[in-house]
Amino acid sequence: MLLNSLFFILILGILGLIIIPSSSKLILRQYSLFTTTLVFILSLFLWLGFDQSTPKFQFITDSLWLPLANINLILGVDGISLFFVLLTTLIFPLCLLASWTFNKGDLKTYLISFLSMELVLLLVFTSLDLLFFYIFFEAVLIPMFLVIGIYGSRQRKIRAAYMFFLYTLLGSLFMLVGVVYIYLSVGSTSYEALSVIKFSSYNQKWLWLAFFASFAAKVPMLPVHIWLPEAHVEAPTAGSVILAGILLKLGSYGFLRFSLGLFPEASIYFTPFIFSLSVLGVVYTSLTAIRQTDLKRLIAYTSVAHMNLVMIGLFTGTVIGIEAAILQSLSHGFVSSALFLIIGVLYDRWHTRGVKYYGGLTHTMPIFIIIFLFFTMANLGLPGTSSFVGEFLLFVSAFEANTTSCFFAATSMILGGVYSLWLFNRIAYGNIKLIGSDLSYREFVVFFPLVLGTLVMGIYPDIFFCPMHASVSNLVWIDLWI
């Protein structure tokens, strides 16, 4: 019932936005912010009422859809999906608050797109039926396509929107073929039913590749990462935050839930392939980030590097590695979202993202620079921040699994220091090039939850590890190595 209430409130929110006149912009903003904030508050009760001693799915709702075909809409939450749900419900009200002064195009369509996106994302993270997961997984493309294509900042926004749509859609067609094959073979698409069925090693490999094509494009992994920098550069600030903070997690969540959960033997077989591709992605995108002159493009490439690190953790085959990868995904959701919001603050004032136009902001925007420094350090994995815990445990498990891959992946810490500190130095210090006001009260409120979450996750990560431990332990396939 609690899980259903989240969807019900969002549906009511979308219907309410449709009814409210387009001319009542303040009411539209207030109504959408109230809706998403209420959803976040209710989602916290999922955490409070979660039984962390069991790996079973909780808050399950089962709705008949095609009972004759044995296909039903089943929704539920376990320790793996719980925090992805919470991350989603937190990021959206912050995005709407950050977009409070956004006035480009039709505001009503803009807000409806964001509420629709939140609804579909929550359905993705809670869906326990493979067919419905695919439907919701693809449905996310529609509102994000509109946000990039209509409300983007430059002339290339249409091209960026189509790149985002086509890259992710074409990869997902292979997953659809896999879902159809599974249904014809087993007669069901229920995740709980499929989790107790052992596919042959041959079938697992082909099904794993089919799902890989879809999830790799979402992470994104090389060479299908090209769409992400383009989409980030053209999207409005809130769109970039959703892309980095949540949409990229669809790929890692898909690998964790389905590739590892349903095809364990194939996951072991393809682990060297994943390690090689991820290490290449980490090093290449980190080096590429160093030479970027556009603020958004730089942070976009760092996002690819961090998400490829997550992939290494997922395929270590250990409880510590997978838990570290999940925590690193959540940390990336906080830190990367904050960095894009920081860029949004600069763009709102001066309407440029060129690094060369900024300098000396320490003198005119001290509070902004303090927050920028905090998230720069968090992006580097400074002890006491969320990224440190995730990266440290991730490298520990990766070192045990494959020392060579761990060594090259760890170069991301050095390269990360280069692009992060160099960017901060160019913006914060030097001659004053632009003069503007410091953070407003509204902007400070947007950053505060992200600062708090980053600190809590870094200082006391156990409150995140405990709920996910039973579910991850139930998923781990390391015993297959023996």
**What is the distance between the alpha carbons of residues 103 and 360, in angstroms, rounded to a whole number?**
29
Nearest by Cα to 313 from 385, 393, 249, 251 = 393
Q: Give yes or no for a contact between 61 and 76, defined as CB atoms under 8 angstroms apart.
A: yes
pLDDT above 90 for 136: yes
For 368-378, the pLDDT digits (tens) are: 999 999 999 99
What does the pLDDT read at residue 477?
A: 53
pLDDT digits (tens, 9 = 90+) for 9-25: 999 999 999 999 888 88
pLDDT of 480 higher than 70:
no
pLDDT digits (tens, 9 = 90+) for 182-209: 999 988 888 888 888 888 889 999 999 9
State how far the Cα of 434 lies from the Cα of 124, in Å rounded to an integer. 43
pTM of the model: 0.93
Top-confidence residue, 225 or 135: 135
| pLDDT, position 277 | 92
Q: Kindly report the three-state secondary structure assignment for every residue of the chain.
A: CHHHHHHHHHHHHHHHHHHCCCCCHHHHHHHHHHHHHHHHHHHHHHHHCCCCCCCCCEEEEEEEEEHHHCEEEEEEECCCCHHHHHHHHHHHHHHHHHCCCCCCCCHHHHHHHHHHHHHHHHHHHHECEHHHHHHHHHHCHHHHHHHHHHHCCCCCHHHHHHHHHHHHHHHHHHHHHHHHHHHHHHCCCEHHHHCCCCCCHHHHHHHHHHHHHHHHHHCCCCCCCCHHHHHHHHCCHHHHHHHHHHHHHHHHHHHHHHHHHHCHHHHHHCHHHHHHHHHHHHHHHHHHHHCCCEHHHHHHHHHHHHHHHHHHHHCCCCHHHHHHHHHHHHHHHHHHHHHHHHHHHHHHHHCCCEHHHCCCHHHHCHHHHHHHHHHHHHHHCCCCCHHHHHHHHHHHHHHHHCHHHHHHHHHHHHHHHHHHHHHHHHHHCCCCCCCCCCCCHHHHHHHHHHHHHHHHHHHCCHHHHHHHHHHHHHHCCHHHHC
Best mean pLDDT range from 54-63, 107-116, 158-167: 107-116
pLDDT over threshold 60, residue 481: no
Q: Is the pLDDT score of 86 beyond 80?
A: yes
Which tokens belong to 429? 């210090």
Taking all residues of the chain, what is their mean pLDDT, rounded to a whole number?
89
Contacts of 251 (CB under 8 A, 6+ apart): 215, 216, 217, 218, 219, 220, 221, 307
User: Are 7 and 86 within 8 A, CB to CB?
Assistant: no
101 near 443, Cβ under 8 Å?
no
Rg (CA), the chain: 21
Q: State the sign of the Cα–Cα–Cα–Cα dihedral 465, 471, 475, 479.
A: positive
pLDDT for 270 equals 93
